[in-house]
Amino acid sequence: MPELPEVETVCRGLDQAMTGRKIVSVDQNRPNLRFPFPKSFPERLAGRKIERITRRAKYVLVELDGDLTMLMHLGMSGRFEILGDKKSQKPGPTGPNGFGKHAHVIFHLDDGIKIVYTDPRRFGFMDLMKTEERDKHPNLKVLGIEPLGNELNADYIQQNFSNKQTSLKAILLNQKIIAGIGNIYACEALFRAGLSPIRKAASLALKSAKAKKHAEDLVVEIRSVLTDAIRAGGSSLRDFANVDGDLGYFQHTFQVYDQEGEACKRKSCDGVIERIVQNNRSTFFCPSCQK
């Protein structure tokens, strides 16, 4: 499943290929993905200029001229391919449209580039909205702050974690408080901060110097773990100047995620990584150095 760093990488790749271009036409090859496409989806996009591509949590927002924004979510398996005019068809099994049978949407740009959206499991979705009403969209209006924005700081953590009897891990996954931190990066940030995932969220909101320090450490590590992953993803875009490219997934190395039974990677620690289940999600952590 693409996490925030993958979505950020997708945004940057699409931005390079699409911003400033005009959408000539759109092939929509099925009526729905996770949800039905908006009515007249291809017709409403055709002829519009792409002005800006941004990310909000795990949503890609494509801002077009004429007060229209397209929202895209990659679901579990969504990915984009960018095909130059010299390579109009991808090798491999092809469906009726000349692309793979899971190529559900193809955006044709005015420079001959094709942006192909492929999604075998079809948990992704696309929607359209007026740009000026973006903040009222049902998927966006419920979101908390961005983990990479300036709003995330120790004060925000202390204000929003106080009186929360839930665990620290669970609160990091609460999209209404901080939007876009998935299971993997919640585990990794807590490991880096040396904080236990089973500790009560409210313990970071106490009026002590220690609680404040924990909140500050958590902010620093959330940022650094996401920034490191985005940087790794950016290197996967290096070939992007050649236009043809497959966006969305890249290899990561994790310190605790999926490392059950492995030796803790913190130098001063001889602990072993454990897996527990919290809110139906796997949590990986080192019980020796995460307190």
Report, in Å, the least distance between residue 248 CB and Zn ion.
32
State how far the Cα of 196 lies from the Cα of 189, in Å rounded to an integer. 10
Q: Which is nearer to Zn ion, 69 or 290 (CB)?
A: 290
State how far the Cα of 10 lies from the Cα of 5, in Å rounded to an integer. 9
- Bridge partners (DSSP) listed for residue 81: 116, 246
Give the dihedral of Cα atoms 55, 250, 221, 279; nearest 10 deg. 80
State how far the Cα of 175 lies from the Cα of 143, in Å rounded to an integer. 6
- Return the residue matching tokens 């876009």: 180
Report, in Å, the least distance between residue 190 CB and Zn ion.
12
Stretch that binds Zn ion, among 144-152, 226-234, 251-259, 278-286 (CB under 5 A): 278-286
Q: What is the DSSP letter of 37?
A: P
Token digits for 288? Answer: 């020796």
Binding-site size, Zn ion (CB under 5 A): 7
Query: Active site residue: 55, 58, 79, 192, which one?
Result: 58
Q: Does 286 bind Zn ion (CB under 5 A)?
A: yes
- Return the residue matching tokens 């099925």: 30
Query: Active site residue: 34, 122, 200, 281, which one?
Result: 281
Q: Does 269 bind Zn ion (CB under 5 A)?
A: yes
Q: Which is nearer to Zn ion, 75 or 194 (CB)?
A: 194
Contact pick of 109, 152, 218, 264 for Zn ion (by CB under 5 A)? 264
Q: Which residues bind Zn ion (CB under 5 A)?
A: 264, 266, 269, 271, 286, 288-289
- The residues annotated as belonging to the active site are 2-3, 58, 281
